[in-house]
Amino acid sequence: MNLFGILLKQLTLKDFADMGIVALLIYQVLKIVHGTRAVQILIGMVFLSGIYALGINYNLYTLNWILDHFFDYFFIIFIILFQDQLRAALATVGTGRKMFSFFDRSPVGFDVEEIVRSVSVMSKERIGGLIVLERKNGLQNYIETGTSLDCELHSDLIYSIFTTSSPLHDGAIIIRNDRIAAAACFLPLSKNVDIDRHYGTRHRAALGVSEVSDAVVITVSEETGKISVCVDGIFYKCSDENILRQYMKHLWTGEKLSEELKKIEAK
């Protein structure tokens, strides 16, 4: 009997469950770091591990001494280097997002049409906008960076906030349930090195907050008037208000998208 057969005989159901859980955790980690600078850091860690193995094999004492001390503090270094990814992973586990459900199918907590109407007018008039819709992950830390409003959601109000004459136009508005929680909010910029260079600060901020939370972000380009919906670090272009309406209803109620639209991917 070959070695594989002997090993297979010794494995129990508990061992298979153990390996399955570890494989799932590794898979989730790889999905979280995919497309971010963390990939290069992981490659660097693997490279150092390979050098360390060579040092042990060939008794390279000085190199071994340096790398021994490095790997003694590996977990602290890991936490420092991957703090953004760990924060996103813990938020995912805490809400059960992506692991136990495809999308948040909770009932719409606001009038989609109010957002669609305001975004449509802003697009036609080339008024830049950044609208963040809170879902399961709380955005209180970003709300506190802006001006608290806690007012009723209305298309005229959204439009007036983003007009260039408004003192609150620079930044994002964050919508919680059916109310505008705050305006002129600062969002984290994406650290993804593969972002299209044509994207400005507004789009990088949309990517950034969608990478660390389950928020849905709507952007309106000031230069082109183009509308995009950003979910989980991916942009979905909306050529008109009907497509935006479809995406919004799909995300909140599970309504099916038209066949020609780009499907929203679950990470």
Distance CA 25, CA 23 (A): 5
Q: Does 231 lie in the same domain as 169?
A: yes
Other beta carbons less than 10 A from residue 42's beta carbon: 16
Boundaries of domain holding 35: 12-81
- Number of structural domains, the chain? 2
pLDDT in tens, the chain (267 residues): 577 777 777 788 888 899 999 998 888 777 666 655 567 777 888 898 899 888 888 888 888 888 888 888 878 877 887 776 676 666 666 555 444 444 444 444 568 899 999 999 999 999 999 999 998 888 888 998 999 999 999 999 999 999 999 999 999 999 998 899 999 999 998 877 667 777 888 999 999 999 888 899 999 999 999 999 999 889 999 999 999 999 998 988 888 888 888 888 655
Q: Is residue 99 in a domain?
A: no
* Residue where a domain terminates, one of 35, 60, 81: 81
Q: Please name the helix (run of DSSP H) or strand (run of DSSP E) that holds residue 123, with its range, or none.
A: helix 112-124
Q: Does 149 lie in the same domain as 50?
A: no
Buried residues in 83-96 as b, exposed as e (16+ CB within 10 A): ebbeebbebbeebe
Q: Does 237 lie in the same domain as 159?
A: yes
Q: Is residue 4 in a domain?
A: no
Q: Which of 152, 137, 143, 112 is nearest to 238 (CA)?
A: 112
Q: Does 123 lie in the same domain as 62?
A: no
Distance CA 179, CA 158 (A): 11
Q: Which of 123, 115, 219 is nearest to 157 (CA)?
A: 115
Distance CA 115, CA 257 (A): 19
Q: Does 184 lie in the same domain as 133?
A: yes
Q: Is residue 259 in a domain?
A: no
Q: Does 167 lie in the same domain as 38?
A: no
pTM score over 0.85: no
What pLDDT does residue 42 have? 77
Q: How many residues does the chain have?
A: 267
Q: Does 127 lie in the same domain as 18?
A: no
Distance CA 252, CA 106 (A): 6
Q: Is residue 201 in a domain?
A: yes
Show the tokens assigned to 202.
């507004």
